[in-house]
């Protein structure tokens, strides 16, 4: 078997869609359409090769998305110290799995499943003494790319679990300033100078950050964690990005597993600032390990937590609800 490296990449295909993924971190590296003239139209702003990644493009964020202040949290009466690996300050950020080689469990032309295990003994020294079996499935169907996750507690004690994804999206503009966004959050977290939540949640109403209906991005500098998401009758939360002059609209749908979404304009990306908009589905808010009521999952031994998000170019037709192409319930917690 060929060793998995940061440069290992695989391409999924379905009709005029392509998705480039990697077993290194189970990352989504590109998602694009091929138009009638053979041109590539990017939906997920991506990269090729391990050294090409910028700003966390396509990363999978498990067992915690976002930052944990000072890398410290308490769970079941014990205090744990995580590695502080955040360039913005003394924090832990985005979990462990984005820099691990995953195993390929299933592979078809339009679908692939990656799996990785976290072992309590090995990760105790990194501040997370819990055992998890994690899988991520990417699938292309007639309309969209879906991404389904599954996390099972294979240890002997309850485990704190959060799941997030870090895709960037584009509607073909040279700068994201030219696009409009719609974000379903009715509230957003206040961050301190180290980008760690203070514990305060502000309502978006009557603020510049109310994007529940389409508004121009223009010069807005997003690095916000939105919570209390608006949902439709089926429990689906929807975020969108559009460029009216070119009639391009990207729609991201998230099932009930996802309680937060981070939006980031990539201002700190040195060679490509504001090239695309990160719309990051998250099952919990940033620093939920210290604020469990912000969506932290307490996963008991033998339980499985799963969910799905999807993205499509809505200008081609009606967006579908996530998970309809890969079976099962939209959000599952099972023994």
pLDDT at 124: 94
Do residues 306 and 148 make contact, with C-beta atoms less than 8 angstroms apart?
A: yes
Residue 17 lies in a domain: no
Return the CATH number at 288.
2.70.98.10
Tokens representing 111 are 């679908």
Q: How many Å apart are CA 297 and CA 119, to the nearest integer?
A: 18
Residue 166 structural domain? 53-334
Task: Compute the mean pLDDT over every residue in the chain, rounded to the nearest whole number.
Answer: 93
Q: How many Å apart are CA 152 and CA 133, to the nearest integer?
A: 5
Residue 274 lies in a domain: yes
Do residues 61 and 151 make contact, with C-beta atoms less than 8 angstroms apart?
A: no
Q: pLDDT digits over 243-283, tens only? A: 999 999 999 999 999 999 999 999 999 889 999 999 999 99
Residue 38 lies in a domain: no
Q: pLDDT digits over 205-249, tens only? A: 999 999 999 999 999 999 999 999 999 999 999 999 999 999 999
Residue 35 lies in a domain: no
Tokens representing 220 are 């807005």
Residue 99's SS3 state is: helix
For residue 77, pLDDT beyond 80:
yes
CA distances from 99 to 6, 66, 84, 139, 164 (A): 8, 15, 15, 22, 15
pTM, entire model: 0.93
Q: Specify which residues 181 forms β-bridges with.
A: 215, 241
330 pLDDT tier (thresholds 50, 70, 90):
very low
pLDDT at 335: 56
Mean pLDDT of 153-176: 97
Write out the H or E segment, with its range, that includes residue 122. Answer: helix 120-124
In the chain, the number of structural domains is: 1
Q: pLDDT digits over 52-68, tens only? A: 999 999 999 999 999 99
Residue 11 lies in a domain: no
Tokens representing 11 are 């391409």
Residue 33 lies in a domain: no
Residue 295 lies in a domain: yes
pLDDT at 87: 80
pLDDT at 86: 87
Residue 34 lies in a domain: no
For residue 88, pLDDT beyond 80:
no
């Amino acid at each position: 078997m060929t060793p998995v490296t940061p440069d290992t990449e695989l391409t999924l295909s379905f009709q005029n869609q392509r998705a480039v993924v990697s077993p290194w971190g189970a990352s989504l590296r590109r998602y694009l359409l091929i138009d009638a003239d053979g041109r590539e139209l990017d939906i997920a702003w991506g990269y090729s090769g391990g050294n090409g990644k910028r700003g966390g493009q396509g990363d999978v964020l498990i067992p915690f998305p976002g930052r944990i202040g000072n890398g410290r949290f308490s769970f079941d009466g014990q205090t744990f110290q995580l590695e502080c690996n955040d360039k913005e300050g003394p924090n832990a950020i985005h979990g462990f799995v984005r820099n691990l080689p995953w195993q390929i469990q299933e592979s078809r032309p339009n679908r692939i499943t990656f799996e990785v295990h976290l072992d309590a003994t090995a990760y105790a020294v990194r501040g997370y003494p819990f055992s998890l079996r994690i899988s991520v499935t990417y699938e292309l169907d007639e309309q969209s790319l879906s991404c389904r996750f599954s996390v099972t507690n294979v240890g002997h004690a309850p485990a704190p679990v959060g799941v997030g994804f870090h895709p960037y999206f584009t509607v073909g503009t040279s700068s994201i300033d030219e696009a409009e966004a719609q974000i379903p959050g009715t509230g957003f977290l206040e961050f301190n100078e180290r980008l760690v939540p203070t514990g305060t949640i502000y309502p978006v109403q009557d603020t510049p950050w109310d994007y529940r209906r389409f508004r121009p991005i223009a010069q807005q500098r997003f690095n916000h964690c939105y919570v209390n998401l608006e949902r439709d009758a089926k429990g689906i939360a929807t975020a969108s990005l559009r460029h009216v002059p070119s009639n391009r609209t990207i729609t991201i749908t998230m099932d009930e597993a996802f309680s937060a979404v981070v939006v980031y304009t990539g201002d700190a990306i040195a060679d490509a600032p504001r090239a695309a908009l990160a719309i990051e589905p998250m099952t919990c808010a940033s620093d939920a390990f210290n604020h469990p009521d912000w969506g932290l999952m307490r996963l008991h031994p033998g339980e499985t937590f799963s969910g799905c998000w999807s993205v499509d170019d809505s200008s081609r037709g009606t967006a579908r609800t996530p998970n309809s192409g890969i079976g099962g319930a939209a959000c599952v917690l099972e023994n």
